[in-house]
Amino acid sequence: MASPNFEITQKEQVTIIKCLKEFGQSAADEIENLSAEWLKKPSKIYVFDFQEAGSVSNVTFKPMATLNRSLKKVESFLFSINVSKDIERQIKMAGLDDVFNVKTDLSAAMAGAGVKVAKPTLDANFINPFIQSTQKTIQTQANTQVNAGRLRLKQPGEVFETDIAGVISLTSNVFTGAIALCFPQETFLAMYSNMLGERHTVITPEIEDAAGELLNIIFGQAKAELNQNKGYVIERAIPTVVRGKNINIHHMSRSLSVVLPFETSAGKFHIEISADFV
């Protein structure tokens, strides 16, 4: 059943409890109920995210203290992140620093529990799942053979022939960034024809979401590999599609962007990945 107070996500060893509104009586009651459930099969870390909490009522202090005490007994941890100055002051005044255990972000919380977090770079360990999932997706879903080209850095100001692109924002415990799947019109139309048996001469709104869907599948496959086998905690995301003549994907990233070129029987396309690491 959906929680009225929290959005709860569980990944591997971490349960994130995002507070959706005031951390008050209703939240206090729910924590008591959730605590019993959690303690049946506890995660290693429980992180309360106060980004949207607005305020915290004193009635939540007792169930939080009880939860923290119970978690300690089973060698689990409770942390709080995105805590405003006002809430942090309130916690300190109540002498509950050790209960709420405020950290700057999820990464710091995980480090506080002694959990090793993969420190990503745009290296083969991070990039290869995207190459493999691109080949698998295009071959299986679009019935088109794919050869991966040589990975390289995107040069400042470099523009590729791109008429349509699917774009997904990457959000994880240790980095933010973006991935873009970029097609020239001819490649996109030929691939669409392979996928659905429909021939089009121009990209129309009726068919453009295929760029987003293909990227969605590529991202889903790569995310599963990175999260399950390489120690990342990349969050789910929904793609958007951009269209125009010779689109330039400009990454608002302080770090470098990489380009993965692909050749297919339908023509060339490429993927761009950028990431800022915490």
Q: How far is the CB of 116 from other proteins (least distance, A)?
A: 20
| Residues 6+ away with beta carbon under 8 Å from 1 | none
Q: How far is the CB of 47 from other proteins (least distance, A)?
A: 16
Q: How far is the CB of 205 from other proteins (least distance, A)?
A: 9
Nearer of residues 228 and 246 to other proteins, judged by Cβ:
228
Nearer of residues 46 and 100 to other proteins, judged by Cβ:
46
Nearer of residues 36 and 224 to other proteins, judged by Cβ:
224
Q: How far is the CB of 2 from other proteins (least distance, A)?
A: 7
Instruction: State the Cα–Cα distance between residues 141 and 158, nearest whole angstrom.
Output: 30
Q: Is 214 exposed, middle or buried (0-12, 13-18, 19+ CB in 10 A)?
A: buried
Nearer of residues 211 and 258 to other proteins, judged by Cβ:
211
Residue 38: how many CB atoms within 10 A of its CB? 21
Nearer of residues 50 and 232 to other proteins, judged by Cβ:
232
Nearer of residues 212 and 267 to other proteins, judged by Cβ:
212
Q: How far is the CB of 20 from other proteins (least distance, A)?
A: 16
Interface ranges with other proteins (CB under 8 A): 1-2, 10-12, 136-137, 140-141, 192, 195-197, 206-207, 209-210, 212-213, 216-217, 219-221, 223-224, 227-228, 236, 238
Nearer of residues 75 and 206 to other proteins, judged by Cβ:
206
Q: How far is the CB of 229 from other proteins (least distance, A)?
A: 11
Instruction: State the Cα–Cα distance between residues 163 and 160, nearest whole angstrom.
Output: 9
Q: How far is the CB of 216 from other proteins (least distance, A)?
A: 5
Instruction: State the Cα–Cα distance between residues 184 and 55, nearest whole angstrom.
Output: 50
Q: Are strands 164-171 and 45-49 parallel, antiparallel or unpaired?
A: unpaired
